[in-house]
């Protein structure tokens, strides 16, 4: 491994887009057009290589095939670099960061996802600072060890654990938040790492591995006042899914109507994994705190505690891919694999 090289992987996204003269819409361009807009990266003391995926895409089109290809790309280059920066569209960045955190075993190098709200070529772009700082964090070493050996998202002066972050703003530069876990670093004049919140493995000699066995048969049902039996039945019983993320109210509360509880209970009995995640951007599910969640406990629904919807979906895809027994998936889901749960 070259001790002073960082790899940039361009996947697409606003940071590398330009406006189509005919339609006015933004679409991905060749990465070389990004690098020439940021000559500052040549001032780093470490070397920077850059590659792009075979077909850069808008992050709205990302699927499990993309995740497998990206994970394999990092695995192939893992021994050549001290860290990685993945340029990614913001819309599904939290999904990708979460999925990579589950797919990577024994990770001891930084994998920093970043992007921008404005294309890199525009005068007021936020992409320039995001990329420069992400590179600096990816190369940060202390006592011969990476300072942040995790999958992270860096955006607008904050470094977040990837499986704890969510995109919450489509307009302003501070597009991401991590309401249930503190930032791993705060960036101003200096980069101030919050060491006590960074996950350091006790044994860093184990070989890095990538697990690409995924199963996308996961659904999401967001509850709302007035939701009807036909809709719930269509999602739970007629969609072919094997696991369901149930987005409930507040601390995990749901409607108590008999038809609803019966549908959920019957689905669990058939072997479907149903997990309870709050619709709120912060806070935790506490099944049983209110009477309106007792029915979910009796139905066999698994509490998602303070996990994000993005992490819940990707964790279920990962666990389903391991061909585990239903009871094993339920047990593992309630356990933190890589810091996604408190």
pLDDT at 292: 86
Give residue-wise pLDDT tens across range 146-170: 999 999 999 989 999 999 999 988 8
Q: Is 114 an active-site residue?
A: no
pTM greater than 0.85 (yes/no)? yes
Parallel/antiparallel/unpaired status of strands 166-167 and 158-161? unpaired
Question: What's the distance, CA 119 to chain centroid?
Answer: 22
Helix 93-103 with 64-77: angle, nearest 10 deg: 60
**Contacts with 315 (C-beta within 8 Å, 6 or more apart), sequence order:** 98, 102, 307, 333, 337, 340
**Contacts with 243 (C-beta within 8 Å, 6 or more apart), sequence order:** 217, 218, 219, 272, 273, 274, 275, 316, 319, 320, 329
**What is the overall mean pLDDT for the chain?**
91
Give residue-wise pLDDT tens across range 7-38: 999 998 778 776 666 776 766 666 665 667 77
For residue 325, the cross-strand partners are none
When mean pLDDT is compared across 2-6, 7-11, 178-182, the lowest value belongs to 2-6
Domains and CATH numbers, the chain: 5-210 (3.40.50.1170), 218-333 (3.40.50.40)
Give residue-wise pLDDT tens across range 72-118: 999 999 999 999 999 998 899 999 999 999 999 999 999 999 988 88
pLDDT at 172: 78
- Assess contact for 95 and 123: CB atoms under 8 A: no
Kindly report the number of other CB atoms within 10 A of residue 63's CB atom: 11
pLDDT at 3: 62
Give residue-wise pLDDT tens across range 116-157: 888 776 778 887 889 999 999 999 999 989 999 999 999 989
Query: Which among 249, 247, 218 is positioned nearest to 309, based on CA atoms?
Result: 247
Give residue-wise pLDDT tens across range 67-81: 999 999 999 999 999
pLDDT tops 70 at residue 312: yes
* Cα–Cα distance list, 43 to 16, 40, 324 (Å): 21, 6, 49
List 11, 14, 308, 314, catalytic entry? 14
pLDDT at 139: 96
Which of the four pLDDT bands, split at 50, 70 and 90, describes residue 1?
very low
pLDDT at 15: 81
Give residue-wise pLDDT tens across range 294-303: 999 999 999 9
Give residue-wise pLDDT tens across range 189-232: 999 999 999 998 877 678 999 999 999 999 999 999 999 999 99
């Amino acid at each position: 491994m070259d001790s002073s090289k960082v790899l940039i992987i361009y996947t697409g996204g606003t940071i590398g887009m330009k406006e189509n003269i005919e339609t006015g819409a933004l679409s991905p361009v060749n990465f070389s057009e990004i690098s020439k807009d940021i000559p500052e990266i040549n001032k780093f003391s470490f070397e920077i290589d850059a590659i792009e995926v075979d077909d850069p895409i808008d992050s709205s089109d990302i699927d499990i095939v993309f995740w497998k290809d990206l994970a394999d790309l990092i695995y192939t280059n893992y021994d050549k670099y001290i860290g990685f920066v993945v340029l990614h569209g913001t819309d599904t960045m939290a999904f990708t960061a979460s999925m990579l955190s589950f797919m990577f075993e024994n990770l001891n190098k930084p994998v920093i996802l970043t992007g921008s709200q404005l294309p890199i070529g525009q005068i007021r772009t936020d992409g320039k600072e995001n990329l420069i700082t992400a590179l600096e964090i990816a190369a940060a070493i202390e006592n011969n060890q990476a300072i942040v050996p995790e999958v992270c998202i860096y955006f607008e002066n904050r470094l977040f654990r990837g499986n704890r972050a969510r995109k919450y703003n489509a307009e302003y530069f501070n597009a991401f938040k991590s309401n249930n876990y503190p930032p791993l670093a705060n960036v101003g004049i200096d980069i101030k790492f919050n060491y006590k919140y960074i996950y350091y493995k006790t044994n860093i000699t184990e070989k890095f591995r990538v697990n690409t066995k995924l199963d996308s048969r996961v659904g999401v049902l967001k509850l709302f006042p007035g939701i009807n039996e036909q809709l719930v039945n269509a999602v739970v019983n007629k969609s072919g899914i094997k696991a369901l993320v149930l987005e409930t109210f507040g601390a995990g509360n749901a409607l108590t109507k008999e038809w609803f509880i019966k549908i959920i209970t019957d689905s669990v009995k058939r072997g479907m994994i149903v997990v309870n995640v709050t619709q709120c951007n912060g806070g935790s599910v506490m099944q049983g705190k209110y009477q309106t969640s007792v029915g979910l406990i009796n139905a066999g629904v698994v509490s998602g505690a303070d996990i994000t919807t993005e992490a819940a979906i990707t964790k279920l895809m990962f666990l389903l891919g391991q061909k585990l027994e239903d009871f094993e998936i339920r047990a593992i889901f309630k356990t933190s694999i890589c810091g996604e749960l408190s």
